[in-house]
Amino acid sequence: MVAIHALGPELTGISSPDPLKFAFAGKKAAHIRSHSAAVPAEQTQEVYRQLMGSPADGRDKRLVYIHIPFCRTHCSYCGFFQNATKTDEIARYVDYLEKEIRMAAHDPWVQQNLFHAVYFGGGTPTDLTPEQIIRLGTAIRESLPVANDVEMTFEGRFHGFDNDKVAACLESGFNRFSLGAQSFNTTIRRRMSRIDPGEFLLERIGYLSSLNNATVVVDLMFGLPGQTLDDWQQDLHTFLQSKAHGVDLYQLILLANSRMKDSIEKGSMPEPASSPERAEMFRMGVETLSTHKVGRLSVSHWGRDTRERNIYNHAVKSGAEILPFGSGAGGNIDGYSIMNHRALPAYYQMIDRGMKPIMGMTQSGGNRALLATVGSGFDRGWLDLSALDRSEGVGMSEHCMALFNAWQDNGLATIHHGMLDLTLPGQFWNVTMQQALINFLEQHPFAADNAEKAA
């Protein structure tokens, strides 16, 4: 076993009377990085054709991601913006996207098994017209085998999502709306270029849930410039008073090169919350929702009743296979990460040539079962140590025990009944800790006894 004193504070965190605020220096990224190797550009089409010709693994949930890379405004904090919404360009894009979806209908890998979640994300799918929504929804249903209990999410903004578009979504089989509220506070919203007042959002949530035909989930962000603890408490209570079925609580990641960062540096926007202040906001979120008995589906996602299942988001964290469609869409098949072209001309050109519009592909260097166990566990807030052993080989959890003990000493986790259970501070730092575990395993590789390694 690795000795505890061999581990640095970037892995273990530091000992602090207040680990929620001070265990690590700050959250730097929203996602985990693990070792992977680029597939040479001239081989990506061939590798993709091989993947599509091979048998599909029937054990796990399979996902579809469809990307709509258009937004009406560029929200000042966001790194997902690709293209400004233009009616003609969207019409052209929908033609190509439909073609890309229908091309997949002939692939054995696609047809051999069911898809359990379809996520229509962006960008802003709510900028599509009702006719475009129905066309793409029909293409999905006619081309891809979806499970009877498929979770079909339509993501977007409240702005411009009128009753005709909502009806088109329901007619097309979408059964979940995931809408970015960010905040119900109109002043805070306008500071981020969010157009509508908070009251409008509540009215629309009321309408969507009154249809009683789809799950309604909203995103809220904490740590925004000028957002006080009281503002945050008010947002949480507004969610509770609304009829939304679920909520995501995201802490702001202040992106380098974002307009928000620029404005803050120039002094034209107030400072966002510091990491300790965001930690306090996280605590408030967990305590408020727990007190009101909202069910916790992951460290950052909550469902008020059984209507919200959170299938797509949790399956992504658990390493599920994702078939990507659209410019800028990312996928994951049999250990290969696939990224479609972000530039529209390159995307169109490849579809015209009958090719998958791949911009880049990498092959994961890590053990997929291990990454899936770790990803799924940290997303829910606990790691099953026997699952860790099954994914990498007997002795794996013992191999990591120095790190787990250090986390326990630093108030980030407790170890009991074969579980590494994240404390509230551990839940706040879960992405940092997950990355630390992956870095630890790269620095201290585990040599499993292959005879005992699980299949």
Using the structure block, give the residue that is written with the tokens 């996928």: 331
The distance of closest approach from Cβ of residue 430 to ligand SAM in the complex, given in angstroms and rounded to an integer, is: 15
Would residue 132 be called left, alpha or beta, if left means φ above 0 and alpha means ψ between -120 and 50 degrees?
Answer: alpha
Residues whose CB falls within 8 Å of the CB of residue 190, separated by 6 or more in sequence, listed in order:
none
Distance in angstroms (rounded) separating the CA atoms of residues 183 and 411: 31
Q: How far is CA 42 from the centre of its chain?
A: 30
Q: Looking at 11, 68, 78, 438, which residue binds ligand SF4 (CB under 6 A)? A: 78
x/- contact string, 411-450, with ligand SF4 (CB under 6 A)? Answer: ----------------------------------------
The residue (of 250 and 382) whose beta carbon lies closer to ligand SAM is 250
78 touching ligand SAM, by CB under 6 A:
yes
Distances (CA, A) of 392 to 1, 11, 396, 414, 442: 15, 20, 6, 22, 14
Taking CB under 6 A as the criterion, the residue among 77, 109, 312, 404 binding ligand SAM is 77
| Least separation in angstroms between CB 179 and ligand SAM | 6
Nearer to ligand SF4, 122 or 357 (CB): 122
223 binds, among ligand SAM, ligand SF4, none (CB under 5 to 8 A by kind): none
Burial of 160 (0-12, 13-18, 19+ CB in 10 A): middle
Q: Residue 175: what are its φ and ψ, rounded to 5°?
A: -125, 15
Q: Of 143 and 153, which CB lies nearer to ligand SF4 in the complex structure?
A: 153
| Chain position carrying tokens 């085998």 | 145
Is the CB of residue 253 less than 8 Å from the CB of residue 30?
Answer: yes
Phi-psi region of 35 (alpha: psi -120 to 50; beta: other; left: phi over 0): beta
As measured in angstroms, the least distance from the Cβ of 242 to ligand SF4 is: 20
Binding partner at 255 among ligand SAM, ligand SF4, none, C-beta below 5 to 8 Å by kind: ligand SAM
Tell me the C-alpha distance between 391 and 369, whole Å: 5
- Say whether residue 80 binds ligand SF4 (CB under 6 A): yes
Among ligand SAM, ligand SF4, none, residue 22 binds (CB under 5-8 Å by kind): none
Binding partner of residue 252 among ligand SAM, ligand SF4, none, CB cut-off 5 to 8 Å per kind: ligand SAM
Residue 253 touching ligand SAM (CB under 6 A): yes
Long-range contacts of 367-371 (CB under 8 A, 24+ apart): 367/391, 367/392, 368/319, 368/335, 369/454, 370/396, 370/441, 371/34, 371/319, 371/438
Judged by CB under 6 A, the chain residues 142 through 161 that form the site for ligand SAM are 155-157
Stretch of 75-83, 84-92, 390-398, 427-435 lying at the interface with ligand SAM (CB under 6 A): 75-83
Binding mask 97-136 for ligand SF4 (x = CB under 6 A): -------------------------xxx------------
Question: Which residues contact ligand SAM (rule: CB under 6 A)?
Answer: 77-78, 80, 122, 124, 155-157, 180, 182, 219, 221, 250, 252-253, 255
